Amino acid sequence: MKTKKTLSAGFLVFVFAALMVFAVGCSKDDTSSSQDSSGADSPSVTDDRLQQAWEKNNDVVGWLTVDGCEIDNVVFQGEDNDEYLRVNDEGESDVWGCYFLDYINVTDGKDLSDKVNIIYGHSLDDLTESEKFSKLKRYKDAEFARQHPTITFDLLEGETQWQIFSACDIPITINYIDPNPSDEAHRATLDFLTQNSYVDFGVDVSVEDQLLILSTCTSDESVRFVIAAKRQFFSRRTAKGREYGIRQF
């Protein structure tokens, strides 16, 4: 009788230990399922294109779409502005590079934090039919601009829409890439952008508006061509559903 009791106690200890091992194993599996192969926490991405791109490279921050310009591509953000300057989406050497968000801009995947946000892309001289941001120069034409007034920039966990208010050449001596300029400096830049636009977009813009600027080179090394747009709305997923709004500063 004594032996039987001893065996029963040993059996219970074995069962309890087995259950603990199983529980720990499940916990590890659950944790690993929320990470990619690099160990980074996976964002709640619902766009399949962005999800696949992010799983390949965690430097992916969004997806840029400009109708009429054949721009519908992933956007990266490197540790500096040289990292994606001369490589393609696969990380291979490519003179055309990638579209990339200025390394100094801040995003948490749900929204953009800065007053001014810059996405760069290459172009060829002043041509409108070449690669990458070359086609943005179609905005010099008033009819084209009228038909394509917005930009979409989908973040990993949020969607943003932008209304274009300027298409212009801007000298690099103007610090239009400052992410959070003073109101005075920002107002001066906005005045330049609106007064020197190839097209009158008829859009009011103020220092309270958040901006997205698409920036590319021209045939003049001291001048850049930019498309400047103000935030129309954002859309993001929350525990209560989808939330919409306009961000101002």
- The owner of tokens 């090394």 is 221
pTM: 0.79
The residue to which tokens 């996405």 are assigned:
119
Q: How far apart are CA 170 and CA 61, in angstroms?
A: 26
Strand pairing class (71-76; 158-171): unpaired
Superfamily assignment of 48-245 in CATH?
Sortase (2.40.260.10)
**Residue count (the chain):** 249
Amino acid letter for position 199 = V
Q: 163-176 b/e with 16+ CB inside 10 Å = b?
A: bbbbbbbbeeeeeb
Q: Where are the domains of the chain?
A: 1-33, 48-245
Print pLDDT tens along the chain (249 aa): 434 444 454 544 444 444 443 333 333 333 333 445 445 566 777 688 999 999 999 999 999 999 999 999 999 999 999 999 999 988 899 999 999 999 999 999 999 999 999 999 999 888 888 888 999 999 999 999 999 999 999 999 989 999 999 999 999 999 999 999 999 999 999 999 999 999 999 999 999 999 999 999 999 999 999 999 999 965 554 444 445 555 554
For residues 135 and 179, the answer to whether their CB atoms sit within 8 Å is: no
- How far apart CA 146 and CA 140 sit, in angstroms, is 11
